Amino acid sequence: MDWLDSNIYIKEEALYFDSKIPSVMSKDEDLIMEKSAQILCKNKGSILNVGFGMGIIDSYIKSYSPKKHTIIEIHPKVYEMALEMGFKENIILGDWEDVVQEFITDKVTFDSIYFDTISFSKENDQWGKFTKVVDKLLNPGGIYCFFNQYGSVRGKVEEYMDKLDYKKIVEIIPYDKIIKNVSRSNPKLSKKNYRLVYYIKNNLS
């Protein structure tokens, strides 16, 4: 993964690597991340977030003072940025597949999980792989939420989760509210309402 050796920079409120990769996150997602953090923190328990990005959702999660807040980040430069932002006690540097396997082996579980990482191709389906191990990581009544755009669609996240004994909840965030405080002239997000999808384990509410 050559991109792991790349530098990172933030331009026009978006995060880029210096390799030929489009922006991987932007402030356009701020309201989505705020609402997602509210949902994840509903049960006031332990939270796992996979993929730090610009730290938007983790900053919101931190504001709720959860029981425990754990982050997995694979890119060394993003990891360094997270440390500078004050997440030293929370973040693990590494490939989520390796870290999660350790969690499963050690029987480490969480009350809420959020997934939003990079999946460059159909062959590298991070979303589908992660979703298939979520049940081993969530406590009863636990919440699974994710960034519901291209990666999750390719990974058929909802298609897989809908087969499990989980309660599915969909909240709609209007597009005009998403971009209300966005200063960029060309927002990255699709110009449509956002479906904020989350699941509650064992159909508990």
Mean pLDDT, rounded, of the chain: 89
What Rg do the C-alpha atoms of the chain give, in angstroms? Answer: 16
For tokens 């030929």, the residue is 20
Whether residue 148 contacts residue 195, with contact meaning beta carbons closer than 8 Å, is answered with yes
Measuring CA to CA, how many Å separate 12 from each of 53, 117, 126, 165, 184?
Answer: 15, 21, 27, 42, 7
pLDDT > 70 fraction of the chain, expressed in percent and rounded: 88
Q: Give phi and psi for 87, each to the nearest 5.
A: -105, 30
- The whole-number average pLDDT for the span 18-43 is 86
Q: What is the pLDDT of residues 133-152, one digit of tens each?
A: 999 999 999 999 999 877 78
- Amino acid at the residue 41: C
pLDDT of residue 205 exceeding 60: no
Q: What is the pLDDT of residues 67-94, one digit of tens each?
A: 999 999 999 999 999 999 999 999 999 9
pLDDT > 90 fraction of the chain, expressed in percent and rounded: 65
- What confidence category does residue 105 fall into, taking pLDDT thresholds of 50, 70 and 90? very high
- The whole-number average pLDDT for the span 22-41 is 89
What integer pLDDT is reported at residue 190 of this predicted model? 66
CA nearest 87: which of 115, 109, 67, 58?
Answer: 58
